[in-house]
Amino acid sequence: MVKNITDTDFKSEISNNKNVAIKYYADWCGTCRLISPKFKKLSEEENYSGIDFIEVNAEKNPEARKWAGVQNLPFFAVVKDGQIVEASSAGKEEKIIEMLGKLV
């Protein structure tokens, strides 16, 4: 399951969960829409059950965007114990899987 998070919930979501995968998106972003079902599918896979999957609308949540240094969309970050392990603006499922591997 992927939770949609706002600036209001962002800091507690990051600090309350050991492993977090974040997808930053915007409504106008075509690549964001294309990768969304793949990100959701990954969130449901058994081997990623210890990871909290969240998505953040980068345009409506400037604090969360600034925290990760988002420059391009879609943008992904994997977080362990409140710290970014890796971040990338890649829109490829293979890259996301590689990043998730750093949390399992």
Looking at 5, 14, 20, 29, which residue is catalytic?
Answer: 29
**Torsion angles phi and psi, residue 97, rounded to 5:** -60, -45
Burial class (CB in 10 A: 0-12, 13-18, 19+), 46: exposed
Looking at 5, 14, 32, 51, which residue is catalytic?
Answer: 32
Cβ neighbours of 27 (radius 10 Å) = 10
**What is the widest separation between alpha-carbon atoms in the chain?**
32
Amino acid at 18: K
Residue range 49-97, pLDDT digits in tens? 999 999 999 999 999 999 999 999 999 999 999 999 999 998 899 999 9
Domain ranges within the chain, ordered by starting residue: 2-89
Q: What is the mean pLDDT of residues 5-30?
A: 95
Q: d(Cα 62, Cα 42) in Å, to the nearest integer?
A: 26
Among this protein's residues, is 22 annotated catalytic? no
Q: What is the pLDDT of residue 35?
A: 96
With contact defined as beta carbons under 8 Å apart, do 41 and 26 qualify? no
Confidence band, pLDDT 50/70/90 cuts, at residue 30: very high
Percentage of the chain lying above the pLDDT 70 cut:
100
Among this protein's residues, is 29 annotated catalytic? yes
Token pair of 63 as six digits: 């604090």
Topology of 2-89 in CATH? Answer: Glutaredoxin (3.40.30)
Token pair of 72 as six digits: 């391009």
pTM above 0.75, yes or no: yes
104 has a pLDDT exceeding 90: no
